[in-house]
Each structure stands twice: as C-alpha cells, then as structure tokens.
Amino acid sequence: MATIFSKIIAKEIPADIVYEDDLVLAFKDIQPIAPVHILIIPKKEIATVNDVIEADEVMLGRLFIVAAKIAKEQGVDESGYRLMVNVNHDGGQEVFHIHMHLLGGRRLGPMLVKKK
Ligand code: 5GP
C-alpha cells in the first residue's frame, strides 16, 4: 500500500535526498533523533519485513551497501552508527514501507532499556 514514502520516491513531496539508484532511495529523517539520521528505503513498496519475499534479496542487500556508503560520506563509519528496522506495533513502526534508519554522530546508548 502506498505511504508517504511512495510520494517521496515519486518526488511528489520534497525530501532531503542523499542517495538514489534504481532500487534504493535514501533521505534525511524529518524528525532526526541523532546528528545523522537517514532513512534508506527500497523503491518497491513493501510494508514490513514480514512481507519480504526471496525475490527481494538483492534489493534488500543493497540497503546495506548504501548504508555503508552513506555512513562513510557522513563521516560516521569509524565513530560508529546503528542500523535499525522497526516492524509493526511492538517494533514502533509508523510508516508501513520498509525502511532502515541510519543513526550516528553521537553515542546512541544501549539497544533497549533493560526491563527491571
Ligand atoms: P518508523 O517509526 O516507522 O520506524 O520510522 C518512520 C520515520 O519516518 C520516522 O523517524 C519519521 O520521522 C520519518 N518520517 C515520517 N514522515 C516523513 C516524511 O514525510 N519525510 C521524512 N523525511 N521523514 C519522515
């Protein structure tokens, strides 16, 4: 199903695009939670990781190739960064078009706050 990200892919709404090729688009998150916060998305509309099929393998692998390239360009490859993909309600997914968050530029802290 089309989301706001489909409109960004179609250039119907603006975004600060940092990378584009035939399969993948990457743009700055509109509400960054770190000095570097970029969303890397496949151009194909896939709602969640649960909807991935084997034929998506190359395209989804590309997300990591692009992440490494952007991390280097943004100067966080050595300092470190986090790649995050949220899935459904408990994962905190808000936009139902698969996206990889690239977060960096500060110490990001633990993965999750431990339950007491
Ligand atoms: P999720 O919570 O689904 O993993 O992440 C969705 C992300 O998309 C959020 O970090 C949110 O700030 C970002 N986002 C939502 N709408 C837009 C938009 O129109 N433009 C951009 N650049 N980012 C968006």
pLDDT of residue 46: 98
**Is 66 inside any structural domain?**
yes
Task: Note whether 18 and 28 are within 8 A (CB).
Answer: yes
Please, are residues 2 and 45 in contact by the beta-carbon 8 Å criterion?
Answer: yes
Q: Which domain holds residue 40?
A: 4-104
- Cβ-in-10-Å burial (0-12, 13-18, 19+) of 42 comes to buried
State the distance from the centre of ligand 1 to the C-alpha of 50, rounded, in angstroms. 19
Residue 112 lies in a domain: no
Q: Is the CB of 27 under 6 A from ligand 1?
A: yes
Mean of per-residue pLDDT scores for the chain: 96
pTM over 0.85: yes
User: Could you say which of 37, 89, 97, 99 is catalytic?
Assistant: 99
Is 99 part of the annotated catalytic residue set? yes
Instruction: Tell me the pLDDT tens digit for each residue of 31-59.
Output: 999 999 999 999 999 999 999 999 999 99
The answer to whether residue 27 sits within a structural domain is yes
The pair of three-digit structure tokens given for residue 1, joined into one six-digit string: 């199903």
Number of separate domains in the chain:
1
The encoded tokens of residue 20 equal 């584009």
Residue nearest to atom 17 of ligand 1 (CA): 30
Please report, for the domain that includes residue 24, its CATH number: 3.30.428.10
* Mean pLDDT, each 10-residue run in order, the chain (116 residues): 95 98 98 98 98 98 98 98 98 98 96 76
Q: Is the dihedral of CA 91, 95, 99, 100 positive or negative?
A: negative
